[in-house]
């Protein structure tokens, strides 16, 4: 009963920042630590709302804090990958834009008096799963000395993940915009 859900949200951001740090470091063993930190970020992000409901501390301020921290966590992790040895800046920037626009469209529905829009082909949970699994596979490919580990048609596996985040994020933003438009009187 003494747990403040906002403190859980803040702790989730700390894990996202650690994930970002580990994404930027070499050798590739840090990818495994980054994946663990992303997992902790996701776990705490899922827990903050649950704890708020259990201890009857749900509030608009708490929801606001949660969404702000989620966006900072997204930007920190994706920007870190964009400047990492595993991705170039262009797919990284594309990913940040796609993810931010998808998130913006979700909250724009709320701003217009509708329910928050979570639908679309790329949600935060999907991104977190990929941010855990892809670094592990990237590490394994490098550890196995796979010749294509860092160059699959010009990009690493991490780079392709970022391209997917950019494409799917922008498609999700357009999907959400369309759904919101149809819901408006």
Whichever domain contains 166, its CATH number is: 1.20.120.1760
- Measured CA to CA, the distance from residue 141 to residue 53 in angstroms comes to 42
Q: pLDDT by residue (tens digit) across 76-104?
A: 999 999 999 999 999 999 999 999 999 99
pTM of the model: 0.90
Give 3-13 pLDDT, tens digit per residue. 888 999 999 99
Range of the domain at 131: 5-183
- The pLDDT tens digits for 113-167 are 888 888 899 899 999 999 999 999 999 998 888 777 678 788 899 999 999 999 9
pLDDT at 1 over 70: no
What percent of the chain stands above pLDDT 90?
A: 68
**Residues 16/35, Cβ–Cβ less than 8 Å:** no
Number of domains comprising the chain: 1
Q: Could you tell me the end-to-end alpha-carbon distance of the chain, in angstroms, rounded to an integer?
A: 42
Contact 125, 176 (CB under 8 A): no
Give every CB contact of residue 5 below 8 A, 6+ residues apart in sequence: 48, 49, 51, 52, 55, 57, 62, 66
């Amino acid at each position: 009963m003494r747990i403040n859900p906002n403190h859980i949200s803040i702790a989730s951001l700390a894990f996202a920042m650690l994930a970002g740090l580990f994404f930027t470091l070499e050798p590739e063993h840090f990818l495994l630590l980054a994946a663990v930190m992303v997992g902790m970020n996701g776990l705490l992000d899922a827990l903050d709302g649950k704890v708020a409901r259990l201890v009857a501390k749900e509030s608009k301020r708490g929801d606001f804090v949660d969404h702000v921290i989620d966006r900072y966590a997204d930007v920190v992790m994706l920007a870190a990958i964009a400047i990492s040895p595993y991705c170039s800046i262009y797919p990284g920037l594309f990913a940040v834009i796609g993810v931010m626009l998808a998130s913006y469209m979700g909250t724009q529905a709320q701003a217009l008096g509708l329910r928050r829009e979570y639908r679309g082909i790329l949600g935060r949970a999907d991104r977190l799963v990929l941010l855990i699994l892809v670094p592990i596979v990237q590490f394994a490919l490098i550890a196995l000395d796979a010749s294509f580990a860092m160059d699959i048609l010009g990009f690493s596996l991490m780079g392709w993940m970022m391209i997917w985040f950019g494409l799917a994020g922008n498609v999700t933003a357009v999907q959400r915009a369309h759904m919101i438009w149809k819901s408006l009187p």
